[in-house]
Amino acid sequence: MKLLDTSEISKETGIPASALRYYDENGLITSVGRRGLKRLFGPETIDQLAIISLGKLAGLSLEEIRSMFGADGKPSLSRQLLHAKADEIDLQIRKLQSLKEAIRHVAECPAPNHMECPTFQKLLRIGSHKRARTESAKQNR
């Protein structure tokens, strides 16, 4: 089994060495030794990093991603978690599609002034409502 050092893994995956160290320190991947100052990883780390990257792309937290690996580091994907995340993504897509359609309408609106466009007014109310919820959530932390 050929061991890969941090720079080799980084070069092959495009993931910065600092992220590899962070993932190692937080139990997402496991180094198996050192070559000088560089950590060494087994070849399975490439697949683990691909899963981590996909999880991050899907919006999973690092804790959720960590739960996708067994104690031995092998993938142990939770179908329930993946279904829930897919449902969240579907909802986000629907919201973004609605927003896109509203923005496109405003861009093409025949109203002489955007402030006179009912669709634009609706967008302003939605944006104002979301900002208020975000600020309220920050204050409750």
Could you give the residue range(s) of every CATH 1.10.1660.10 domain in the chain? 4-77
Instruction: Return the half-sphere exposure (C-beta side, CA atoms, 13 A cut-off) of residue 106.
Output: 17
pLDDT single digits (tens) 74-115: 898 889 999 999 999 999 999 899 888 888 888 888 888 888
Tally of residues, the chain: 141
pLDDT band at 132 (very low <50, low <70, confident <90, very high): low
CB-based contact 39:2 (threshold 8 Å): no
pTM: 0.72
pLDDT single digits (tens) 10-28: 999 999 999 999 999 999 9
Pick one of 2.70.160.11, 1.10.1660.10, 2.60.40.1180, 3.40.50.150 as the CATH number of 4-77: 1.10.1660.10
Q: Tokens 């923005």 belong to which residue?
A: 103
Distance, CA of 54 to CA of 13 (rounded, Å): 12
Q: What is the pLDDT of residue 136?
A: 60
